[in-house]
Amino acid sequence: MTDAASPSTGVSPRTQRLKARLRARYARETRFRWYGRAAIGVALAFLVILLGSIVMQGYTAFYAHSVTLPVYMDPARIDRSYPQGANFEQIVAEQQIRRLGVQDDAEGTKAAAMKALLSSELKFQAAKMIARQPSLLGQTVPVAAPLSDDAEMYLKGQITRAVPEDQRRVSNEQMAWLDKMKASGAVRAHFNAALFTKGDSTQPELAGLLGAVVGSALMLAVTALIAIPVGVGAAVWLEEYSPRNRITAIIEVNINNLAAVPSIVYGLLGLALFINFLHLPRASPLVGGLVLALMALPTIIIATRSSLKAVPPSIREAALAMGASRTQTVFGHVLPLAMPGVMTGAIISMAHALGETAPLLLIGMISFVPGVPHAIDEPVGALPSLIYIWENASERAFHERTAAAILVLLAFMIVMNAAAVLLRRRFERRW
């Protein structure tokens, strides 16, 4: 050894061993601490990636492109008494390529390519204008309509020239046209209002969430009307009235088990009992709401029981001592005090029910339902099942709309959970 004085000089080997062991122990301690940090970091990273990827995929769906084209309303091709019958898309496409200076071939392929950039909504817009004001025939009027989903995907940069032309749905020529139309100011980006004001459609540029939002709302209303009163009632009975006997014990075990039954089993129950046995209407908010209510029931019961338990016995004893009956004690004193907790539990379980999908698929909420529903016994869509349906759709534009639908669903859930948290904060009480 050199005399560069190692710190252990003069220290016995035993102390050296001990110090080394201590260092190793502290190192293990630090490592362990870092494992914990890493685990939390990974979990939070997952959360960020999950939400980030959905926002990245979905935010583009909140704006859309419309095109405003001057259209010569050709009286020779548009029947005044039946404007819906006219082939407006063809008329507009032919006029538009002429305006862009393109010579069409005998088969009309250029006009067809232009037509592919326009949405069928154009036809309804133009027909509506003629029906309202027949004097427009023979004039040139501007008509505004959405672009087709393919054109939209190009303008949003999701279809690029980097992909070989034969592998994408928008040709180089169509891209050039779109660029020209955009440069001339005919194509305009705006907030995608259709997403919030329309029902489902087979064409992505016309598909909206309103039908599914209304369907979900109707279903949730049925769920809340059934699950909350029944759940609270059951919890009150179990906590305040029930005798300690075998029946009560069975009910209690049963509720705990129900809370952990997989959701798809509730779907099977709904299919067998409500649809095949009671013949309630398939895919209706009535059946969906009933199934979700049965699913939410155990959660509400458990939450209500714990908030009833939190009310101190002295309140009950005081009321009973003043001569109140058991029922008067419960409904006049205990339940009002437990109400914030009950509401919190109810809101959280409703938020869960809102996001539940698997049982809805089994009771038939997987088919295409255009428009917006009005009644609780007609087939509807729901937000989660719409997400599932759109995710399976082949059109690329549905992908961004799926992500947008998820963002809307998550927004509802965040609002509900925030309401629950606020409620808890606002009425938190310590005895």
Partner 1 sequence: MIWIFLLLLTAFSVLAYVGGRMLALRRGAGTKSHSRPGQHGLYALIWVGVPALAMLIAASVFSTPIERQMMQAGAPDSVAQLEPFRREAFFADARRIGRGQEAQQIWPAPYAEELPAEGRRAHRITATLNWGGGVAALIAAVLGGLFVFTRIRPDLRARNKVEGWITGVLFACSAVAVLTTLGIIFSLVWDSLRFFSMVPITEFLFGTKWSPQIAIRADQVGSSGAFGAVPLFAGTFLIMAIAMAVAAPIGLFSAVYLSEYSGKKTRALVKPALEVLAGVPTVVYGFFAALTVGPALRVFFNGLGDLLIGGPLNGLGLYLSLVQNQMALVAGAVMGIMLIPFVSSLSDDILNAVPQSLRDGSYAMGATKSETVKKVLLPAALPGIAGALLLAVSRAIGETMIVTMAAGLAAKLTLNPLETVTTVTVQIVTLLTGDQEFNSPKTLAAFGLGLTLFVVTLLLNIVAMRIVQAYREQYD
Q: Which of 87, 139, 172, 256 binds partner 1 (CB under 8 A)?
A: 256
**Using rule CB under 8 A, residue 273 touches partner 1:** yes
263 is a site residue for partner 1 (CB under 8 A): yes
- Decide if residue 237 touches partner 1 (CB under 8 A): yes
43 touches partner 1 by CB under 8 A: yes
In total, the chain counts a number of residues equal to 431
Which span sits near partner 1 by CB under 8 A: 121-129, 179-187, 203-211, 229-237? Answer: 229-237
Kindly indicate which of the ranges 2-10, 50-58, 60-68, 143-151 contains the residues binding partner 1, using the contact rule CB under 8 A: 50-58
Exactly one of 271, 296, 311, 408 binds partner 1 (CB under 8 A); that residue is 271
Sign (positive or negative) of CA dihedral 146, 149, 151, 153: positive
Q: Does 238 bind partner 1 (CB under 8 A)?
A: yes
From candidates 6, 8, 109, 254, binder to partner 1 by CB under 8 A: 254
Task: Pick one of 21, 23, 37, 188: the residue that binds partner 1 (CB under 8 A).
Answer: 37
Q: Cβ closer to partner 1: 113 or 382? A: 382
- Examine residue 53 and tell whether it contacts partner 1 (CB under 8 A): yes
- Closer residue to partner 1 in complex, CB, 83/289: 289
Kindly state the smallest distance separating residue 262's Cβ from partner 1, in Å.
3
Query: Distance between the two ends of the chain, CA-based, in angstroms?
Result: 70
Near partner 1 by CB under 8 A, which window of 61-69, 112-120, 149-157, 297-305?
297-305
147 vs 275, beta carbon nearer partner 1 = 275
Q: Binding residue for partner 1 (CB under 8 A) from 13, 36, 101, 164?
A: 36
Applying the rule CB under 8 A, the residues between 362 and 391 that interact with partner 1 are 362, 366, 384, 387-388, 391
Nearest approach, Cβ of 147 to partner 1 (angstroms)? 24
**Burial of 302 per CB tally in 10 Å (0-12, 13-18, 19+):** middle
Which x/- pattern over 389-418 shows residues binding partner 1 (rule: CB under 8 A)?
Answer: --x-------x--xx--x--xx--x---x-
- Pair 358, 264: CB distance under 8 Å: yes
Q: Which residue of 278, 310, 411, 415 would you call a contact of partner 1, by CB under 8 A?
A: 278
Number of residues that bind partner 1 (CB under 8 A): 87
Residue found by looking up tokens 């027909």 in the block:
127
Alpha-carbon dihedral sign for residues 263, 268, 273, 279: positive
Of 141, 268, 320, 339, the one binding partner 1 by CB under 8 A: 268
Residue closer to partner 1 (CB basis): 127 or 361 = 361
Residue 277 within binding range of partner 1, rule CB under 8 A: yes
361 touches partner 1 by CB under 8 A = yes
Contact flag: residue 42 with partner 1 (CB under 8 A):
yes
Which 314-353 positions form the footprint of partner 1 (CB under 8 A)? 325-327, 331, 351-352
Among 17, 21, 23, 33, binds partner 1 (CB under 8 A): 33
Show contacts with partner 1 in window 186-215 (CB under 8 A).
none
CB of 11 or CB of 44, closer to partner 1? 44
